Amino acid sequence: MAWGYLTTGIVTLISLLPPLVAVSHSFRAPESEQWSGSSYEYVMTTYGSSLSFSLKLALFVVIVSLVIAVPAAIAFTRFPFRFSGVIEELIMTPLSLPGISIAIAVIVGYNSMRGNWLLLAMAQMLYTIPYVVRILGNSLRLLPIDELEEAARTLGAGRYVRYRRVIAPLMIHPTVLAALIVFAISWGEFNVSFLLATPTQLTFPAALFATYTSNSLSVAGAATAIFILGAVPFFIAFQLLERRPFEGGQGV
Amino acid sequence: MDITLKGIRKRFSKGREAIAGVDLRFPSGKITAIVGPSGSGKSTLLNLIAGLLRPDAGTIFFDTRDVTMIPPEKRDIGFVFQSYALFPHLNVEENILFALHDRPMGRAAKTESVSAVLKVFEIAHLAKRRPGELSGGERQRVALARALAREPQILLLDEPLSALDAQLREHLRRELGVFLHSLDRTSLYVTHDRDEAMLLGDELVVMREGLVIQSGTPAHVYRHPVDSFVAKFFGDANLVPCELDESGQRVSSRFGTFSVAQPLVLQPGQSPCMLLRPEMFVPAGTDSVVRLKVRSANFLGSKWRVEGLDVAGWPLVVDLPGDTAVAEGEIVDLRIPRSSIHVLAVDASQPTGSAGEDRSDTHLAGHIYGKH
């Protein structure tokens, strides 16, 4: 057991050390060795709008991705048609492309929309929609939904009751998981955001880059700390949901 | 409630017919075990009766009501699935409550009804647990409780014990038998296990390749199988070639002359075979008709299972009382104290021999003899 604790400890340290070092600088006043929270104040004043923009953008991307991808995942898994498997794989293509390729393709393809925040959302959704389709699709394939629906039918349930009381509740969990992942992708996305950024549409990761290139290390550290704080609720929710799909497992 | 099937046929998109023309009547209040090897169409038949599948042809009646086109939710049936199909997001109590969702009762009455069901099935202590937290036996009990909570007229069970380990299956089989017989409801029980079918079924329906091969009481099917497939499916069987006299009433073989238990009409290309179950042989003295050279003897407690060859080199399997002295290499004298014997027709091209030859499905219990 000791070697287990040791190796996981080392891995955790390697993962957390860089952000911890950055964050440790955040409590120093710029250009001095004094402890101070002034860097946080500076970040919030200067980049507060980016924080707000990133949050709004992520929420928008989550909603639209789910609206588009959930029906698609249901169609691919429950009502497969000829070549649906091929199409499902094709829409995964953006996941294998570097972000810069996506960004340039979007800029070239939709140049007239440049400066419109919708273009940024669209570019992010090129990643997020395939993720949702894949996550939901896999979950739906793992659940014996057809048999559960048949069981509901033998128990007197018509179509509406089956969807409301059997299928929809079973889809809530994977949908929430997918939403959290979409939020995380959008919140942390840099390549596309950076290339499509304008002064009024600067996402927080792009702002973070700016702090590292043009500000002191303490300001960059503070921005990093704020960025991590923004992701913490996601990690907690994800852990809680991933551990307990249905208390005690699928159980069918 | 009677269930009557008339000319039922069902073919899936490709391949042969899963149900190739079935006419049957399942008597009211009886438990009928539908039994057959994998792919014989028994589960398909159950799904057709439940309404989960629609037949390509034929009619299904519940008593005099034609239910062929009626969806399962309106057929008043209870169905226990092989995997139990318990709703994983609902606890045991909620699973059972779901069965009452369309009943014209108040919430309090429904809760009371669920409590009563939980008590009957002795699962009240599991009420708040989700299916994922239950053992196989507990899930089986919950599935049965849920199916019966609606008090359906017809109960359909699709291999409800097959997902369990052998020991638990043995235990629950007896328990389920007692329970089903106490229900006094028309129950159809699909299984590929002959012991389960014989233990639970008041009646048996034997299926193969989408057709009903034979139906009747377990004793009748065991004693008077229609062909070698059914004979071997329901137990070890020595099929011994014989000659039928002109009257069709008597047969003679190397083991003597016997009257025929049921008249037999041979079709062209068929020949008669006597069915000698292992337990039909008894140790003999001077009246011996079989001299068996023992090739293997296995002590099974109450009996010996003996394999050997008779003087003509014909392989036989016989059961002898547990207190008999028997050993490999010995000669055992046997007789067949029966005046009448079941004779069945086999295709002349089909090899006969002793129990269990030519079984394609390893689920079919029994030994493979004559292949040493």
Six token digits for residue A32: 């001095």
Sign of the CA dihedral A25, A31, A33, A36?
negative
Same domain, B199 and B241: no
Six token digits for residue A142: 């793992």
Angle between helices A217-243 and A2-25 (to 10 degrees): 140
Q: What is the pLDDT of residue A63?
A: 96
Say if A250 is an interface residue toward chain B (CB within 8 Å). yes
In the predicted model, what is the mean pLDDT of chain A? 84
In the predicted model, what is the mean pLDDT of chain B? 86
Total number of domains constituting chain B: 2
Asked, for residue B372, whether it belongs to a domain, the answer is no
Q: What is the pLDDT of residue B264?
A: 80
Say if B70 is an interface residue toward chain A (CB within 8 Å). no
Say if B146 is an interface residue toward chain A (CB within 8 Å). yes
Q: Does the pLDDT value for residue B97 go beyond 80?
A: yes
Q: What is the pLDDT of residue B91?
A: 94
The secondary structure of residue A28, as a DSSP letter, is: B
Asked, for residue B329, whether it belongs to a domain, the answer is yes
Q: What is the mean pLDDT of residues A2-20?
A: 83
Asked, for residue A218, whether it belongs to a domain, the answer is yes
- Dist CA B68 CA B50 (whole Å): 10
Say if A146 is an interface residue toward chain B (CB within 8 Å). no
Pairing of strands B31-35, B203-208: parallel
Asked, for residue A114, whether it belongs to a domain, the answer is yes
Q: Does the pLDDT value for residue B75 go beyond 70?
A: yes
Q: Does the pLDDT value for residue B371 go beyond 70?
A: no
pLDDT bucket at B360, cuts 50 / 70 / 90: very low
Asked, for residue A205, whether it belongs to a domain, the answer is yes
Same domain, B158 and B193: yes
Q: What is the pLDDT of residue A77?
A: 87
Q: What is the mean pLDDT of residues A112-130?
A: 87
Q: What is the mean pLDDT of residues A146-168?
A: 93
**Interior angle at CA B349, CA B346 and CA B351, nearest 5:** 70
Same domain, B183 and B270: no
Sign of the CA dihedral A47, A53, A56, A58?
negative
Same domain, B252 and B141: no
Asked, for residue A247, whether it belongs to a domain, the answer is no
* Cβ neighbours for A51, distance < 8 A, ≥ 6 positions apart: A44, A204, A207, A226, A230
Q: Which residues of B touch A251 (CB under 8 A)?
A: 86, 88, 130-134, 139
Question: How far does the CA of residue A164 sit from the closest CA of chain B (Å)?
Answer: 12
Same domain, B311 and B266: yes
Asked, for residue A128, whether it belongs to a domain, the answer is yes
Q: Using alpha carbons, select from A224, A125, A122, A241 the residue that is nearest to residue A180.
A: A241
CATH code where residue B256 lies: 2.40.50.140
Cβ atoms < 10 Å from Cβ of B9:
16
Q: Which residues of A touch B146 (CB under 8 A)?
A: 155
Say if A98 is an interface residue toward chain B (CB within 8 Å). no
Same domain, B136 and B249: no
Q: What is the mean pLDDT of residues A211-224?
A: 80
Q: Using alpha carbons, select from B355, B282, B350 the residue that is nearest to residue B315.
A: B355
- Dist CA B270 CA B353 (whole Å): 15
CATH code where residue B91 lies: 3.40.50.300
Q: Which residues of B touch A156 (CB under 8 A)?
A: 73-74, 99, 101-102, 150
Q: Does the pLDDT value for residue B142 go beyond 60?
A: yes
Residue B339 burial (CB < 10 Å; 0-12/13-18/19+)?
Answer: exposed
Question: How far does the CA of residue B187 sit from the closest CA of chain A (Å)?
Answer: 15
Mutate to test the interface with A, among B52, B89, B135 (most CBs of A within 10 A): B89
Same domain, B141 and B262: no
Asked, for residue A251, whether it belongs to a domain, the answer is no
For residues B348, B350, B353, B358, the Cα torsion angle rounded to the nearest 10 degrees is -170
- Domain with A196 in it: 35-242
Same domain, B206 and B81: yes
Same domain, B159 and B82: yes
Asked, for residue B12, whether it belongs to a domain, the answer is yes
Q: What is the mean pLDDT of residues B291-297?
A: 92
Q: What is the mean pLDDT of residues A223-235?
A: 82
Total number of domains constituting chain A: 1
Asked, for residue B356, whether it belongs to a domain, the answer is yes
Q: Does the pLDDT value for residue A140 go beyond 90?
A: no
Asked, for residue A62, whether it belongs to a domain, the answer is yes
Q: What is the mean pLDDT of residues B343-372?
A: 47
Q: Does the pLDDT value for residue A199 go beyond 90?
A: no
Highest mean pLDDT among B64-73, B144-153, B270-279: B64-73
ipTM over 0.85: no
Q: Does the pLDDT value for residue B369 go beyond 50?
A: no
Q: Does the pLDDT value for residue A245 go beyond 80?
A: no
Residue/partner pairs of B67-72 with CB below 8 Å, 24 or more apart:
B71/A153, B72/A150, B72/A153, B72/A154
Percent of chain A with pLDDT over 70: 92
* Cβ neighbours for A242, distance < 8 A, ≥ 6 positions apart: A177
Query: Which tens digits make up the pLDDT trace of B240-259?
Result: 888 888 887 888 888 888 88
Q: Which residues of B touch A147 (CB under 8 A)?
A: 81, 83, 85
pLDDT bucket at B87, cuts 50 / 70 / 90: very high
The secondary structure of residue A29, as a DSSP letter, is: P
Same domain, B165 and B250: no
Q: What is the mean pLDDT of residues B32-39?
A: 93
Which of B219, B250, B285 is the endpoint of a domain? Answer: B219
pLDDT bucket at A36, cuts 50 / 70 / 90: confident
Name which of A150, A151, A246 is nearest B132 (Cβ-Cβ): A246
Percent of chain B with pLDDT over 90: 51
Query: Which tens digits make up the pLDDT trace of B333-356?
Result: 998 887 778 998 887 666 555 554
Q: What is the pLDDT of residue A242?
A: 67
b vs e for A209-221, b when ≥16 Cβ sit within 10 Å of the residue's Cβ? Answer: bbbeeebbbbbbb
Query: Which tens digits make up the pLDDT trace of B184-194?
Result: 889 999 999 99
Q: What is the mean pLDDT of residues B297-320?
A: 90
Q: What is the mean pLDDT of residues B137-155?
A: 90
Percent of chain A with pLDDT over 90: 20
- Domain with B124 in it: 3-219
Which of B188, B219, B250 is the endpoint of a domain? Answer: B219
* Cβ neighbours for B169, distance < 8 A, ≥ 6 positions apart: B161, B162
Asked, for residue B231, whether it belongs to a domain, the answer is no
Using left for φ > 0, alpha for ψ between -120 and 50, and beta otherwise, residue A248 falls in left
pLDDT bucket at A243, cuts 50 / 70 / 90: low
Q: Does the pLDDT value for residue A81 go beyond 50?
A: yes
Q: Does the pLDDT value for residue B312 go beyond 70?
A: yes
pLDDT bucket at B367, cuts 50 / 70 / 90: very low
Three-state secondary structure call for residue A201: strand
Q: What is the pLDDT of residue B368?
A: 26
Identify the closest residue of chain B to A166 by CA–CA distance.
B87
Same domain, B202 and B241: no
CATH code where residue A166 lies: 1.10.3720.10
Query: Which tens digits make up the pLDDT trace of B271-287?
Result: 889 999 999 998 888 77
Same domain, B245 and B307: yes
Which of B164, B193, B219 is the endpoint of a domain? Answer: B219
Q: What is the pLDDT of residue B111?
A: 92
Q: What is the pLDDT of residue A32?
A: 65
Greater model confidence, B319 or A229: B319
Six token digits for residue A69: 């991808």
Half-sphere exposure of B87 (CA within 13 A, CB side): 29
